[in-house]
Amino acid sequence: MSGAPARNVPVSTAATAEYWAACRRHELLIQRCSDCATHQFYPRLVCASCLGRSLQWVRASGLGTLRTFAIVRRPVSQAYAAEVPYVVALVELREGPTMMSNVVGCSVDEVRIGMPVEVVFDDWPEGVTVPKFRPAQAT
């Protein structure tokens, strides 16, 4: 094996293809069930609430609240060595679903539970775009 270690690159599936395509356009999409009006994330083929199959893609506001987080100080692999320390977080979107992501754009010491965050997009050289969150800018 030669070269730098590879990081884990998300793989598009039938359930997630539209989501990843939207991320490449810097849009955050979530699913909404037409049967029970529940918003959900991660993308699935059926509604997690009612098991309905009438799912629509809707654009999320990209705004949320940080519910919990962990600071990673030791890389899980050498592919992430240059990124430590970094924050892995659970963000509750304004629409309701919770996403696991990273908090960027601030020191790890500034991250707080309850802080408002907004989505930003990280374009990876591997050809995927990953949503991350930063502290929300005052409007």
Residue 10 lies in a domain: no
CB 23 within 8 A of CB 129: yes
Helices within 9-136 (DSSP H only): 17-24
Residue 7 lies in a domain: no
Please state the φ and ψ torsions of residue 53, each to the nearest 5 degrees: -110, 10
Split into its structural domains, the chain has a count of 1
- In angstroms, the CA 93 to CA 1 distance is 40
Residue 6 lies in a domain: no
Cα radius of gyration (the chain): 16
Residue 8 lies in a domain: no
Residue 9 lies in a domain: no
Please state the φ and ψ torsions of residue 107, each to the nearest 5 degrees: -70, 150
Q: Which domain does 69 fall in, by range?
A: 17-135
pLDDT of residue 46: 97
CB 23 within 8 A of CB 101: no
pLDDT tens, N- to C-terminus, the chain (139 residues) = 456 678 889 999 999 999 999 999 999 999 999 999 999 999 999 999 999 999 999 999 999 999 999 999 999 899 899 999 999 999 999 999 999 999 999 999 999 999 999 999 999 999 999 999 999 987 6
CB 45 within 8 A of CB 110: no
- In angstroms, the CA 96 to CA 32 distance is 11
**Residues contacting 1, CB < 8 A, separation 6+:** none
Residue 119 lies in a domain: yes
